[in-house]
């Protein structure tokens, strides 16, 4: 139970699909709660090996901005790895 909401998750909801062979994939997420914004992400290769992680708090105007900031951070990290 979270904030009065019952959350049910099934195993199929937790499946991660790897990128095509030879490629990398970044998954990002953002959250805004009580005017505090945070985001994070994980970069994995096609063999599911974690290549990079990041998380942090940001000043943002809303959830959309936090997610965009996460995508920007992920892109910068991917460029550094190339």
pLDDT tens column, 35-78: 788 999 999 999 999 999 999 888 777 888 888 888 998 899 88
The pTM (predicted TM-score) of the whole model is 0.69
Half-sphere exposure of 46 (CA within 13 A, CB side): 5
Backbone φ, ψ for residue 50 (5° rounding):
-75, 120
Domain ranges of the chain: 18-81
Q: Looking at the predicted structure, is the pLDDT value of residue 80 above 50?
A: yes
Full DSSP string of 14-81? G--PPPSTT-EEEEEEEEEETTEEEEEEEEEETT--EEEEEEEEE--SSHHHHHHHHHHHHHHHHHHH
């Amino acid at each position: 139970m979270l904030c009065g909401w019952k959350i049910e998750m099934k195993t199929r909801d937790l499946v991660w699909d790897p990128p095509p062979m030879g490629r990398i994939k970044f998954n990002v997420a953002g959250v805004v709660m009580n005017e505090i914004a945070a985001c994070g992400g994980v970069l994995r290769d096609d063999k599911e090996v974690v290549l990079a992680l990041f998380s942090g708090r940001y000043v943002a105007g809303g959830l959309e901005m936090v997610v965009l900031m996460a995508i920007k951070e992920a892109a910068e990290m991917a460029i550094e790895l190339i």
